[in-house]
Structure 1
């Protein structure tokens, strides 16, 4: 996620809302799937389990997506053995960023340019496709996703964004479409929600942070969304890498019946504030038990899942229907209006 704030417009889950639904394609029986848990804060896989795997690839979410009907090569089959990352590690929701290809296909990709997280520089046939556009008030030069068709984008391979993370999966997986992303959750052995983020939304970009975190704005959005996703430093400000006094953002959001899911939680010490003494579990404890957030966007779903397994008691899984009914109610009221 980028920017300082995003709205949770809709949390889509492959489960029952307590009303008739058209059957969705899945190799698993929906009736046998374990429901979405709601007895503890949500574990939200930020671009998949991208602390280990290149972001927003099929492997980072759960499984390999092949480019054709042919069977994957031996090397790819070896990779597929370890492919159930974020979902296998216990995430409740998988988050993705949505952009469009030149031919109008929705893809899962964070940056408007391909330069930082793909091997575009190695494709000499695209050397003349570099452009300069204005993006959110700044001049940006690079290879833009909107200048490539889906077929061209599928010829690229994704790589790890950060050089200090594991590089062994670089060049092994393609960009996936939003449809493939949805298929991954439908084929999961349990109910997993999806958390899509539309990149560079014009409406949100027209509003300042202070406007969209005001009580009047919360009153406006509470009938359309179930929560907000703020940058964590806007919830608890930071000065010289030390935490300051928390703001009242969480309390005010809760007063408007809105959940709060801050971003982004990362295990590496360079992302941890000094109070946490190089311990990501101390950071999880602070945000869950002191600040009282309802979910966390993390690059390391396994770490958050382990922390919650060790520190929280199991609740009643039937309480999951409460959230699903709330989402269905929002959707139904929106359709009627």
Structure 2
């Protein structure tokens, strides 16, 4: 995608104040607020309730992570295993579905049909967050999230974008549940596969994005993390070299400490990415997980915006919107 198309997309998603400040973003347009798993700081993640609240709080994009059911339906969960974000362990009828995969004993989405998944209810997985809404909300399919996005855009009078991530696409494809063709099919069916669609498709796996690049025109984002997370002996640098990314993707989603280090210093990552024509959307900003230098959640986001990020992933969209709009 060209910088012009990024500008068109950003402009379509926002309602600029009369006297907007200058931004150091790739296009000069206002950065976007991406609701990480919805308003997941206040509702169980990846539920329609979490996405609805995020939109009310001013999010420009909602982010559904995608895994597949046994019958080939894309559903919205951060992980293929279900014990941390659902009440599956309280369902005796599924006791025999708990099996070991990849060194973990758990219940796995790909072993359930959509009908069975719909009997589960979401729970808050993150320690320290309120459990008041546990057990209330269904696990949505991707198409249900897109239907919510369309309704909310009409009701709010502004375009709400969607920012799906395929989780473990190679592992699922090896099981005969390839998410890429189904994702492309659904986006096309909803008119969201074009270069100017209010969509970013993200993945940690470059091979998945290369395949999707041949299927859809929607913007693609390469997610990256520090190599040292895989092995402490490796350098603290991007898991995929920035110079490789423009061949198949339009932007990069880095761990936030690749952008601003733990001492609060600009690493130069944003400037290098922008020089390559890549948008930068770092993750994840959380009010209840402050940076090592002690800034508040809003101040941490404001600092990232000042150095020119094009958007931020946050569990607390109201905080992100406040940081930007102030």
Paired residue for 1:255, among 275, 290, 310?
275
1:44 and 2:37 correspond = no
State how far apart, in whole Å, the 2-side matches of 1:280 and 1:219 are: 31
Q: CA deviation at 1:35?
A: 3.9
Q: Which secondary structure state, in structure 2, belongs to the residue aligned with residue 157 of structure 1? A: coil
* Counterpart position of 2:109: 145
Q: CA deviation at 1:112?
A: 1.3
The Cα offsets for residues 148-188 of structure 1, whole Å up to 9 and x where unpaired, read as 11011000000111231121111000100000010011111
State how far apart, in whole Å, the 1-side matches of 2:100 and 2:206 are: 22
* Counterpart position of 2:292: 274
The residue correspondences of 1:77-116 to structure 2 (distance < 5 A) are 85-116=53-84
Q: Which secondary structure state, in structure 2, belongs to the residue aligned with residue 234 of structure 1? A: helix
Q: Which secondary structure state, in structure 1, belongs to the residue aligned with residue 247 of structure 2? A: helix
1:194 and 2:162 correspond = yes
Q: CA deviation at 1:247?
A: 2.6
State how far apart, in whole Å, the 1-side matches of 2:45 and 2:130 are: 12
* Counterpart position of 1:160: 124
Q: CA deviation at 1:305?
A: 1.2
Unaligned 5+ residue runs, structure 1?
1-7, 9-15, 18-33, 63-84, 312-337
* Counterpart position of 1:218: 245
State how far apart, in whole Å, the 1-side matches of 2:205 and 2:166 are: 12
Equivalent pairs, count: 244
State how far apart, in whole Å, the 2-side matches of 1:53 and 1:218 are: 34
Q: Is the 8 A contact 1:98 1:107 kept in 2?
A: yes
* Counterpart position of 2:186: none
* Counterpart position of 1:303: 319
Q: Is the 8 A contact 1:212 1:218 kept in 2?
A: no
Q: CA deviation at 1:204?
A: 4.8
State how far apart, in whole Å, the 2-side matches of 1:247 and 1:97 are: 28
The Cα offsets for residues 238-275 of structure 1, whole Å up to 9 and x where unpaired, read as 3xxxx26433321111011111000000001xx21232
Q: Which secondary structure state, in structure 2, belongs to the residue aligned with residue 121 of structure 1? A: helix
1:59 and 2:49 correspond = yes
* Counterpart position of 1:65: none
State how far apart, in whole Å, the 2-side matches of 1:244 and 1:49 are: 26
Kindly indicate whether structure 1 or structure 2 has the higher relative contact order, using CA contacts under 8 Å at least 6 residues apart.
1
Distance 1:293 1:106, change over 3 A: same
* Counterpart position of 2:147: 183
Paired residue for 1:126, among 68, 88, 94?
94
Distance 1:205 1:307, change over 3 A: closer
Q: Is the 8 A contact 1:218 1:253 kept in 2?
A: no
State how far apart, in whole Å, the 2-side matches of 1:52 and 1:121 are: 23
State how far apart, in whole Å, the 2-side matches of 1:305 and 1:130 are: 41
Q: CA RMSD in A?
A: 2.5
Query: Which of these two proteins has the greater Rg computed from alpha carbons?
Result: 1
State how far apart, in whole Å, the 2-side matches of 1:283 and 1:156 are: 36
Q: Is the 8 A contact 1:130 1:143 kept in 2?
A: yes
Paired residue for 2:254, among 202, 215, 230?
230
* Counterpart position of 1:288: 305
Q: Is the 8 A contact 1:276 1:282 kept in 2?
A: no
